[in-house]
Chains A and B, each alone.
Chain A
Amino acid sequence: MSTAARPDGPGTMAALALGDDALILAQRLGEWAGHAPELEEEVALANIALDLLGQARTLLTLSGDEDELAFRREERDFRNVQLVEQPNGDFAHTIARQLYFSTYQELLYGQLAGGTEPLSALAAKAVKECAYHRDHAEQWTLRLGDGTEESHRRMQTALDALWRYTGELFRPVEGLDVAWDTLEDTWRASVTGIVTQATLTPPEGPQAAPWAAGAGRQGVHTEPFGRLLAEMQHLHRSHPGASW
């Protein structure tokens, strides 16, 4: 691994954490191409993935070479939260993941937009994209929650299953000047509000697994992540030094 892929300093580490969030979620959303429940939704999911990929490229470039960082790092060097690496599951799981994450990302970028360069400029642009992503997730949460019995059951299952990955969202990230308590309170109010409106029950279980090893921000990931990276990095790594 080159030095470009081993950034340090709190500023670059923060950009890396946010960049990895966006990159890995874009990778997951890209897997929907050709599998979405309706053609209109193909276009919608791809739009969100492209927004995130754009954010990821800007953020990773703040820390080094974007491709070096995306394709040459080992699993332990990725700083994304575990939530974004969770498999797509059914459409309800994807929507639950989107709801939790985009609500968080919009609030986070909202705060960063009023902060310092270089993150403030990126955040000011990205927060509008995040607002649209959150709206998309909310619209679908309402329709799945308050649709049929089956969709209600699936959406509740998905919200419950992914809840355990939400605690990590509010752990302070070094280098980010964010009021984390406020962020968490606002997030909870927003998510609870829409979940309740969708006739669903806000999950109540623990928001993190009880494990001292840490979580995504410390480079500790879940089992599906290794496979995601293997697939994403394989071609690039098979041709060391090649240009594409």
Chain B
Amino acid sequence: MSGARSEWPLWEVFVRGRRGLSHTHAGSLHAPDAQMALRNARDLYTRRNEGVSLWVVPSAQITASSPDEKDPFFAPSADKPYRHPTFYEVPEGVENL
């Protein structure tokens, strides 16, 4: 991070809505550092009581799957319906399965 630049870096904000839920991406914001990013996230993304816990991550630190890899990455999971319970036939009347 260059110290002399005045444009603050971009951060991604993840909010845990309530206990029992995982953190989900809420949006992004600019902040000079992690401490301020957390505070800005609190002020911006939880001002209507939307969360009980926050993560902030520098956007530049996120490694994303590239669109070129779309098929090899995600297509194979599309043809494995046996991973989903709806794949299996259960005779009528069988309960608690």
Contacts and interface: CB of A to CB of B under 8 A. Distances in A.
Q: Is the interface of A mostly helix, strand, loop or mixed?
A: helix
A139 interface: yes
A43 B30 contact: no
A188 to B, nearest CB: 25
Interface stretch (B14-22, B32-40, B57-65, B72-80): B32-40
B39 A44 contact: yes
B29 A40 contact: yes
B47 A47 contact: yes
Contacts of A139: 35-36, 39
A47 B40 CA distance: 11
Interface residues of A, number: 10
A68 interface: no
B44 interface: yes
Contacts of A143: 32, 36
A152 to B, nearest CB: 15
A117 interface: no
A136 B40 CA distance: 10
13 contacts: A40-B29, A40-B30, A40-B31, A40-B40, A40-B44, A43-B43, A43-B47, A44-B40, A47-B47, A135-B39, A136-B39, A139-B39, A143-B32
**10 interchain residue pairs of minimum CB distance:** A40-B40, A43-B43, A44-B43, A47-B43, A43-B44, A40-B29, A40-B30, A139-B35, A47-B47, A139-B36
Interface of A: 38-40, 43-44, 47, 135-136, 139, 143
Interface of B: 8, 29-32, 35-36, 39-40, 43-44, 47
